[in-house]
């Protein structure tokens, strides 16, 4: 493990004004996105969509520090034969790779899941490094049960520990391969839970995570955290203000995350485009923490561009304009400089 090299990459991933583009959708997930614009889910369409994003020069050079890729995309080339990895690097951005293989029910824990993909990971990481990946991502999924559910309520201590143990093993293997691990314990926001319950569970999950990382010899200086924000479930009738979301999220992070971690790149978790931007901006406006706080967004960066594109070559420029705008807005949010007036402007 070359900790100096890992730390250098981790710091570059959270460069001020920049964040991560999550373009690592599985075939099934991107198929659902394409269904929303009546576009067939073919390899050619997936390539064209991602090539459009990677050729959006202003966004990629100024606001995207790294791109999380899917296995297919890491190996793909643009129409002119340029490898996607080289196209990404040409903008000064870092190629990364999603290495988990999705979730499956956790035995003995009804209602909970565990992420798969540890078998053969050492060999896959060695190959991904040769292909140009310098960081990786592994997502664990934590779900909060309905507030009225007492028997079989989730998450359980065992479920949290199992998922964080897998994250620790993955992270150690990444660093062995000189690949920076993004550790992503996502608490889903689709339920009925309150912001107070999300706060409580997020704190438990992150405390458990850093215990596992310590016990498995993971160097925090070469690690990036990708957590959820502390929000109420989408179905909860009482929704917190952006100020409360920011204050609670910062408190949880201060209570659980060591200062040695170079940066924290939030997932959007299904938040609306501007909602994800506003919440990140509010945290950076409050400030007072030792890490860089930025974004690792998929849908919150891509959705408006996808609707502008509609799977048609003639909409290429409109899609790039939309992507440029959202990347610029989130770049401002990562600095605490976003304003509603700026977001309302049409991107140049």
pLDDT score, position 336: 97
- Residue 168 three-state SS: helix
216: which DSSP letter? T
pLDDT(71) > 60: yes
* Percent of all residues in the chain with a pLDDT value above 70, rounded to a whole number: 99
Helix (H) or strand (E) holding 81: none
d(Cα 209, Cα 221) in Å, to the nearest integer?
Answer: 15
Rounded to the nearest 5 percent, the helix, strand and coil shares of the chain are 50, 15, 35
Given pLDDT bands bounded at 50, 70 and 90, which one contains residue 347? very low
pTM of the predicted model, to two decimals? 0.95
d(Cα 321, Cα 79) in Å, to the nearest integer?
Answer: 21
pLDDT(342) > 90: no
Given pLDDT bands bounded at 50, 70 and 90, which one contains residue 346? low
> May I ask the CATH class of domain 3-344?
alpha beta
Chain segment 154-196, per-residue pLDDT in tens: 999 999 999 999 999 999 999 999 999 999 999 999 999 999 9
Supply the DSSP string of 115-163, one letter for each residue. E---TTHHHHHHHHHHHT--EEEEEEEE-PPPTT--TT-SS-HHHHHHH
Q: Are the C-beta atoms of 53 and 46 separated by less than 8 Å?
A: no
Which residues does the annotation mark as catalytic?
184, 226
């Amino acid at each position: 493990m070359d900790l100096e090299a890992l730390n250098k990459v981790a710091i570059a991933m959270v460069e001020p004004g920049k964040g991560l583009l999550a373009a690592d959708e599985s075939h099934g997930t991107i198929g659902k996105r394409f269904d929303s614009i009546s576009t067939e889910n073919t390899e050619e369409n997936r390539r064209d969509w991602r090539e459009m994003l990677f050729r959006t020069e202003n966004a990629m050079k100024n606001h995207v520090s790294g791109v999380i890729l899917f296995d297919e995309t890491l190996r793909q080339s643009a129409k002119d034969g340029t490898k996607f990895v080289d196209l990404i690097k040409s903008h000064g951005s870092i190629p990364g790779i999603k290495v988990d293989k999705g979730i499956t029910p956790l035995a003995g824990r009804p209602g909970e899941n565990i992420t798969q993909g540890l078998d053969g990971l050492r060999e896959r990481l060695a190959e991904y490094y040769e292909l140009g990946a310098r960081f990786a991502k592994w997502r664990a999924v934590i779900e909060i049960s309905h507030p009225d559910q007492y028997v079989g309520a989730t998450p359980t201590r065992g479920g949290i520990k199992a998922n964080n143990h897998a994250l620790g093993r993955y992270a150690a293997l990444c660093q062995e391969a000189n690949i920076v691990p993004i550790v992503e314990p996502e608490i889903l926001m689709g339920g009925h839970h309150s912001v107070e319950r999300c706060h409580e569970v997020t704190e438990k999950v992150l405390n458990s995570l850093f215990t596992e990382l310590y016990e498995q010899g993971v160097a925090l200086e070469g690690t990036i955290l990708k957590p959820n924000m502390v929000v109420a479930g989408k179905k909860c009738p009482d929704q917190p203000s952006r100020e409360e979301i920011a204050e609670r999220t910062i408190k949880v992070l201060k209570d659980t995350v060591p200062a040695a971690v170079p940066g924290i790149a939030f997932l959007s978790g299904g938040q609306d485009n501007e909602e994800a931007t506003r919440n990140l901006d509010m945290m950076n406006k409050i400030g007072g923490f030792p890490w860089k706080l930025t974004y690792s967004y998929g849908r919150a960066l891509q959705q408006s561009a996808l609707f502008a594109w509609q799977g048609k070559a003639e909409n290429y420029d409109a899609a790039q304009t939309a992507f440029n705008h959202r990347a610029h807005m989130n770049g401002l949010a990562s600095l605490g400089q976003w304003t509603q007036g700026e977001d309302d402007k049409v991107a140049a």
